[in-house]
Amino acid sequence: IFSDTGSFFTQLYIENEYGCSDSITHEIIIYPVFDINIPSAFTPNDDGHNDTFGPVLRIGGYQYYHMKIFNQWGGVVFNQNNTFWDGKLNNKLCPNGFYTYAIIVYDFLNKPHSLTGSFILTK
C-alpha cells in the first residue's frame, strides 16, 4: 500500500529448493487523485459563505482551469483562468437567476476535461 503519490520501485525475489534464484524490479507510478466538485448555487452577498463560484478541485490533481459563465440569454458574464467568479459583471452584481458554465480543467498530465452545467445565483 502506497500512502502518497510518486514513483516507487517494487522488487520480487524468488528462490527454489535447489538454490536457483531470480528477481524482477518494476516501477509503479501513483498519480494524484483528480476530483472535481461544482456547486449548484452561490450567494455573492459578502457574508463570507459561498460568495464566489468555481470548481472545487483536489490539490495536486490539476494544472489549471478555464471557466466561462453565461447568463440566461447566452451572454458571457465571466471568462477567466484559475479565478472564481464573484457574481459581478463590470463591477456590478448580476441579477438572481440561473447561469450556465463551461469549464475546462487540465489535469496533472495536461489532459483537458470539459464540464458544463448550470447553477443558481441568489443574493
What DSSP line would sit under 30-43, residue for residue? EPPP--EE--SEE-
CATH 2.60.40 assigned to domain 36-121? The reply is yes
Closest-CA residue to 122 (of 102, 94, 103):
94
Map out the domains of the chain as residue ranges.
36-121
Q: Is 110 exposed, middle or buried (0-12, 13-18, 19+ CB in 10 A)?
A: exposed
110 and 63 in contact (C-beta within 8 Å)?
yes
The confidence score (pLDDT) of residue 104 equals 95
**Model confidence over 63-118: pLDDT tens digits?**
889 999 999 999 999 999 999 999 999 999 999 999 999 999 998 788 899 999 99
pTM value surpassing 0.85: no
Spatial separation of the C-alpha atoms in residues 16 and 89, rounded to whole Å = 73
CB 63 within 8 A of CB 107: yes
123 in Cβ contact with 44 (< 8 Å) = yes
Question: How many CB atoms neighbour CB 51 within 10 A?
Answer: 14
**pLDDT band with cut points at 50, 70 and 90 for residue 39:** very high
